[in-house]
Amino acid sequence: MAVGLQVLGLVLGVVSWCLTSSCTSSQVWKVRSQAESVATSQWQMEAHLQVCRALMILSLLVGLASIIVSVLGLKCTKIGRTSEHVKDQIALSGGVLFILSGLFTLIAVSWYAARVIHDFNNPYGAVRFELGTGLYLGWGASCLALLGGSMLCCSCRKKYPTPPARQFSYNYSNSSRGPSIYRAAPASDNVSTKAYV
């Protein structure tokens, strides 16, 4: 079951990376609110647009790293002599990277959408724009990345090994003058059994 969950998480992550790439290269992040064609691209020089661009590129880089790490951490791949515990940790790292990539995409797309909605509701704006298909691609990509990363993280449940039974051995010998073990004398009826500290 864990192998299927890992493979499904990886497939969702790869699809989300492809959608993020399509979203980043899309020129249709906003469209004119009337029946006109596409007006502007997202790569203008405003500050929030540059931050959105940086977040999308960072999301692509983190997503690519998470794909590589996740493939190395799958239980169905054999690379070297890695133990199951190490492979679980590698897959968990890949899942966390997928979640981080999805969060970067979600922040960038949602921030850009909030600015488009704010500008649309501005009564002094000359031209009004609506949300474009690039934003919907970004939201879909972020959802798939979060879901795929969560599946990879859930497939790596902690398995605590049972600790070995504790066996104590004392090396006590009468012949040496080493450490000696003192035992309390048995209680008798005529002696008080109260212990004073």
Domains with residue ranges and CATH for the chain: 2-32+42-153 (1.20.140.150)
* pLDDT for residue 35: 40
pTM over 0.85: no
* DSSP bridge pairs for 128: none
Angle between helices 47-73 and 2-25 (to 10 degrees): 150
Alpha-carbon span 108 to 48, nearest angstrom = 9
Q: What parts of the chain have a pLDDT lower than 70?
A: 30-45, 123, 125-127, 158-197
Nearest to 76 by CA among 158, 149, 1: 1
Alpha-carbon span 156 to 97, nearest angstrom = 14
* pLDDT for residue 146: 94
CA contacts within 13 A on the Cβ side of 18: 6
* pLDDT for residue 39: 43
Asked if residues 109 and 138 have their Cβ atoms less than 8 Å apart, the reply is yes
Residues 6+ apart with CB under 8 A from 150: 9, 95, 99
* pLDDT for residue 189: 58
The three-class DSSP label of residue 142 is helix
